[in-house]
Amino acid sequence: MGDIQMISIAVLEDEDEFAKTLMGHIHQYSIEMNIPIEVERFYDGMSFLDEYSEKYQIVFMDIAMPNMNGMETAEKLRKIDKEVCLIFVTSLAQYAIRGYEVSALDFIVKPVSYELFKIRMERAISLVHKTDYYTIKTADGIRKININNLMYIESNKHYLEFHVHGDVYKMRGTMKEIQEYFLASHFALINSSVLVNLSMVDEWKGNEIKAAEQMFVISQKYKREFLDRLTAYMGQ
């Protein structure tokens, strides 16, 4: 496949017949477009959220599901992953407008033909390819991290710790080796050891900020630059 990026898709659908159809469409698209795609199916929102992994780039989600409906699931999903491409697939057309409340990319009404699916899929793939990933080498192997979901990076002795929604990935290295890349994006140093994703900052008071549900102290040396970067980011 060369340098073609593997696409990881989650399908939330409790109806076996439609799940089979949708996954068949995905398989056909993968063959036609020569794009490697891995698919994992979930039967309800609760199991999906319990097992959620940042590896998913596209989520196809039904709305009428047992235990927790698709709209509730999407609201919880957005709290842990603001960037994953979300597409609702359902017979409940009246929910189409509400889909925008959870930043859904698209809305497909059942039954869906392959031709319609292909149009939606191409739009989703285009968005995925625009997403910025940072590749790290951990003890378990190579991992791609969506920088939009990266909360903060902490330097600890000879290692860098990448904090991604409850998970921590360690890579040998120093802050100086990576800071140029992240400072070119929506990140800022609060001290010599911590880089924070500005989109995760909820509060700022004095020398403290709250980001990713944690409190951080801004060192005096970095305070002015941090506040300048935060103000510029919020004004975008």
- Distance, CA of 152 to CA of 226 (rounded, Å): 14
- Distance, CA of 103 to CA of 86 (rounded, Å): 7
Nearest in space to 98 (alpha carbons), one of 126, 128, 69: 69
User: Per residue of the chain (236 residues), what is the pLDDT tens digit?
Assistant: 334 578 899 999 999 999 999 999 999 999 999 989 999 999 999 999 998 877 888 999 998 888 888 889 999 998 888 778 999 887 765 555 555 567 778 888 888 899 989 988 988 888 887 767 788 888 888 777 888 889 999 999 999 999 987 789 999 999 999 998 899 888 999 999 999 999 899 888 889 999 888 899 999 999 999 999 998 888 75
Record the pTM: 0.59
- Distance, CA of 188 to CA of 209 (rounded, Å): 12
Beta strands in the chain (DSSP E): 7-12, 37-42, 58-61, 85-90, 106-109, 133-138, 141-146, 152-156, 159-164, 167-172, 187-191, 194-197, 201-205, 208-211, 214-217
Which homologous superfamily is 133-234 in? LytTr DNA-binding domain (2.40.50.1020)
- The whole-number pLDDT of residue 6 equals 82
| Amino acid (one-letter) located at 113 | S
- The whole-number pLDDT of residue 96 equals 52
Query: CATH assignment of 7-130?
Result: 3.40.50.2300
- The whole-number pLDDT of residue 145 equals 84
Query: Range(s) for CATH 2.40.50.1020 in the chain?
Result: 133-234
Query: Range(s) for CATH 3.40.50.2300 in the chain?
Result: 7-130
